[in-house]
A and B are shown apart, each in its own frame.
Chain A
Amino acid sequence: MVAHKQMDHEEAANDRVMFGFWVYLMTDLLMFAVLFAVYAVLKDSTAGGPAGRDLFRLPLALQETLLLLTSSFTCGLGMIAARQGNKRQVLGWFGATFILGLAFLSLELIEFAEIIHEGYTWQTSAFLSAFFSLVGTHGLHITFGLLWMAITLWFVVKRGLTNNMVRKLALLSLFWHFLDIVWIFIFTIVYLGAFV
């Protein structure tokens, strides 16, 4: 508390926002927890339709995983650059993150399209409802993350690496790593789990 008093107004505000964002991430994680639980309950309710092992292609899922993990790495490098105040490197690393994220999203959409092309949708069975909701919610988060990243980078270009922008990048990177962790669980439980 004494330390708190010594912090100036802006620093204290940053501290609070950072903390609040962590709390927000926990609430988001709980939403995913519900989706995971629902998936676990419904994964065998295929209603005569295909099961996970009939639909999923592990190599594709592995590619997605590698893309997202790499994007988390570049995102981390971008944050280091941001703390050093190196604007060009920030744009470079976050630009790479953006492209990797986009690639991940494209692969996911390709996977969805393939499943639908085979004639199975989220209406086919409870299992597929749960699959599309869980993986789709993650994909939606990635989409928002990309949108957020694009806008933030645009403001970095416009306003430079102010303290405020560094803080916004820090929140963004937290969000990105969070999505990475959720994906690892999806990869393990949904994709690997289907072949156990």
Chain B
Amino acid sequence: MKELLLGKLDGQALPHEWFTILGSITFILATIATIILITRLKRWKWLWNEWLTSVDPKKIGIMYFIVGGFMLVRGGIDAIMIWLQQAISVDGSQGYLSADHFQQVFTAHGNIMVFFVAMAFIFGLINYIVPLQIGARDLASPFLNTLGFWLYVGGVVMVNMFFLLGGEYAATGWLAVAPLSGKEFSPGVGVDYWIWSLQISGVGTTLAAINFIMTILKMRAPGMTLWKMPLFTWGSLCSMLMAVTVFPLLTATLFLMFFDRYLGMHFFTTSGGGNPMMYTNLIWMWGHPEVYILMLPAFGAFSEIVSTFSRKSIASYTSNVLGMIGVSVFALSVWLHHFFTMGASANVNAFFGVMTMVIAIPTAVLFFSWIATMYKGRIRYDTPMLWFLGFVAIFTIGGIAGLLLAIPPVDFQLHNSLFLVAHFHSNVIGGVLFGIFAGLAYWFPKISGYRLNERIGRYAFWSWIVGFLMAFVPMYILGLMGATRRLDHYDSSTGWQPFYVMSLMGGIIIMVGVALQLVQIVASFMQKRRLHDSTGDPWNGRTLEWAVTSPPPSYNFTVIPEVSSRDAFWKMKQHGLRRPVYEDIRMPRNTGSGIYISIFAFLVGFGFVWEIIWLVVVSLIAIIGFVIARTFDEDIEYTLTAAEVEKLELAREKKNHAHYAHGRVDAEDMGLREFVVTVIKWVLDVIKNRRWRTW
């Protein structure tokens, strides 16, 4: 009976390791605190109506950023835990983590950083910016967008579930290589958590990608042909096209793994004719394009930034676009370079090695496009531009290391070494993450209505650069010295320890950088009147997102702009802006269906993890019911009349002016010392005057 009701779930599953207990307590306390805060502020209704059920891509974008930000800290703590273990676990000392814990930590680190940080930030940027750049009011399917977001959240909860409930996480590495991840060698629930967190969020990604393809191809403003599209939108389009190409592969592969584990099938097992290397092939057919899915929107964002901050239109737009398309196409045919040691013939290895090197060509085209844009430009070195320059330096180091690894004989030596780890961190941090940070600094004024604090932003940037080099250059050296990845213990005679310790210190400096970024956002908020941007166009931008006020109204454009050239807004500014004629606007209604479906999708996964079959059945029926209800609901839109739009616009204008008129003009962006002093003063004031009573 108990087995029927709860499956494998019993008291044994509850947290009993120190780190899961700690995690559970933190999580429960944070949840209680949040609930109390929201209740005290009477914000539940507001939260539900304005945010959680919203179908506005701008709000969904911000929510992606918030959840992704939490996950960045979460994955960063994992990173520090790995570094710390490796710095101290030498000779007699076994460090502070057992081998099994250590494996779970690096697995979770990889999954969280790729799926729940990088993907979230990329989708956040695309959600917010793409509709604005193409002159659209919303997405092709607002519902699919909220569903995609909530499925992502479902994946986030699933990947952290072992904290709350206990059990364990996969100890298999972030791609759960077979046959290690099979039932035979990983009998626990860790791999099942892994399967379902990726499955749920992966389906969300596919749906979101279909939606953005529809939006970009079908909803551009009149006159915006494909060859007049802004480059960030181009990068996003390439990325989303790749996503719909490879995410189904991930979904299918995860299902096969699931069949192996639950139904005793023999796809990737060592017995019954299974073929473990087939798993490696399938997962990397998705896995390699995945990094380019993350990279292409970042490339696009860099193109926008370089053009804006060099005050020139992008050099050789066409080659830039072709470069991105080239990267997307070649990226689909290089997966085997992840396992040259598989034992494929020399010709096969040579083909994939050459393809891997060929991909450097379209990438180089992009770099030349950016450099040519900067040439003879009047460059402004604001933080977005700094992140771009940091990217050029670090991505190039990583890229060259990648070219070395593309040579099969070299790869035989460096395979699975820290050299490889350093290589892909250079590209993912230096490329994707810096691209996101650059994009965030660039578009933050659009999102919030005030720009970010430049001074603290610079400190954060330099902490990241110094920390990154200090953390990962030793790893290149360690890799050449023969240190393999994922070691939880080694001998001091190897001479590795100093490098590991240096790497840890670099990691700590990176953490300082992250802390400074949080300080930067808080400090900017504190000075938001001074940093307020009433024009909607703080950087003298060139694309349509700068044509609307910051933050934009829910319908983005009062009048859909007509586009006649690239750099559409730049041309408009030169020809003068016209006074809008208001018109009726059809807007999608908010919907909770996305949340409900995701909750039940989560429960399906949860049911499978713990083998609670009734829960799976009930949840599947519930999902089908919600999908039917949503599909046949015909009342999903409402109309804003021209008069209402005019009223809203006037109110916004007034508010904007009020901000401007009452703005206290500070000397300049506050520095760190002023920030600390202000915060301390505020805390003292709160305590002295018991201000919390009025909250």
Q: Which residues of A are in contact with B by a Cβ distance under 8 Å?
A: 1-2, 4-5, 9, 12, 15-17, 19-20, 23-24, 26-28, 30-31, 34-35, 38, 41-42, 45-47, 122-127, 129-130, 132-133, 147, 151, 155, 164, 168
Contact = CB atoms under 8 A, between A and B. Distances in A.
Nearest to A24: B210
A35 B251 CA distance: 11
Contacts of A123: 263-266, 272
In order of increasing CB-CB distance, the 5 nearest A-B pairs are: A45-B273, A126-B273, A129-B265, A34-B252, A30-B248
B253 A34 contact: yes
Given A47-B272, A125-B266, A126-B273, A27 B248 contact: yes
A35 B267 CA distance: 11
Interface stretch (B22-30, B50-58, B213-221, B664-672): B213-221
Contacts of A31: 248-249, 251-252
Interface in B235-291: 244-245, 247-249, 251-253, 255-256, 259-260, 263-267, 269, 271-275, 278, 282
Nearest to A171: B631
Contacts of A26: 244
Contact of A19 (B214, B251, B266): B214
Contact of A133 (B141, B220, B247, B265): B265
A130 to B, nearest CB: 7
B223 A1 contact: yes
A17 B248 contact: no
B180 to A, nearest CB: 18
A19 B251 CA distance: 22
B145 to A, nearest CB: 12
A46 B272 CA distance: 7
Contacts of B650: none
Contacts of A127: 273
A27 B278 CA distance: 21
Nearest to B240: A23
Given A1-B223, A20-B210, A126 B244 contact: no
Given A35-B252, A129-B266, A164-B634, 16 more contacts: A1-B222, A15-B218, A19-B214, A19-B217, A23-B244, A27-B206, A27-B247, A27-B248, A38-B282, A123-B264, A125-B273, A126-B265, A126-B269, A129-B260, A129-B272, A130-B267
B655 interface: no
A30 B245 contact: yes
Nearest to B219: A16
B211 interface: yes
B632 interface: yes
A1 B206 contact: no
Contacts of A23: 210, 213-214, 244
A1 B225 contact: yes
Interface in B394-415: none
Contact of B265 (A9, A28, A122): A122
A17 B139 CA distance: 11
A45 B273 CA distance: 5
A24 B245 CA distance: 10
B198 interface: no
23 contacts: A2-B222, A4-B218, A4-B222, A16-B141, A16-B219, A19-B214, A23-B214, A23-B244, A27-B244, A31-B252, A34-B248, A34-B252, A34-B282, A35-B252, A38-B278, A42-B273, A42-B275, A45-B266, A45-B273, A123-B266, A126-B266, A133-B256, A133-B259
A66 to B, nearest CB: 29
Nearest to A23: B210
B293 interface: no
A85 B251 CA distance: 39
B140 interface: yes
Contacts of A125: 266, 272-273
Contacts of B586: 9
B224 interface: yes
Nearest to B277: A41
A16 B220 CA distance: 12
Nearest to B267: A129
A54 to B, nearest CB: 15
Contacts of B274: 42, 45, 126, 129
Contacts of B41: none
Contacts of B282: 34, 38
Nearest to B282: A34
B47 to A, nearest CB: 29
B628 interface: yes
Given A122-B265, A129-B267, A5 B222 contact: yes
Nearest to A35: B252
Contacts of B632: 151, 155
Contacts of A147: 624
A5 B163 CA distance: 52
A151 B267 contact: no
B681 to A, nearest CB: 54
Contacts of A164: 634
B212 to A, nearest CB: 10
